[in-house]
Amino acid sequence: MLILGLDPSLSCTGWGLIRAEGSRISHIANGQVPTDAKAPMAERLAALQAALGAVIAEYRPDRAAAEEVFVNKNPQSTLKLAQARGCVLAACGAAGLTVNEHAARLVKKAVVGTGGADKAQVQAMLKVLLPGAQIAGADAADALAVAIADAHLSYTPTSR
């Protein structure tokens, strides 16, 4: 099962692809999709959707997982995040992918063991769970954490 984890953001969306075989996970690929802050909003959103569409076409994941949207103190930031998230979901929908959504605290708990983990703790655990993986940056790390959480949260051992 190939799972594409997504960390939507207008400035830089992270993506991470893992293979989940039972309770085992392995790293396949990861990356980041930055957008030009000086470009018009429509161009930024189109570039984001096209880039993720290309990732999906290249790797052909079985499903995707994304962090649920959270509300910032700044309404403009929340709106921009929602627009980027819409592009991410549209790219998945266009490819026929199911998208599971997980709260950030649940992702941290699934990966680190506590919902209050900080980014450094999540990144340290990624090194343990995905040894040898070269991670493209903080946004890609967050996306890999989402994919791992989705694999853990969806895994149920078969009874014999």
Residues annotated as catalytic are: 7, 67, 139
Tokens of 29: 């690929």
Tokens of 144: 């890999």
User: Is the distance from CB of 99 to CB of 85 less than 8 angstroms?
Assistant: no
Q: What is the CA radius of gyration of the chain?
A: 15
Give the length of the chain: 160
What does residue 62 show for φ and ψ, rounded to 5 degrees? -80, -30
User: Is the distance from CB of 144 to CB of 30 less than 8 angstroms?
Assistant: yes
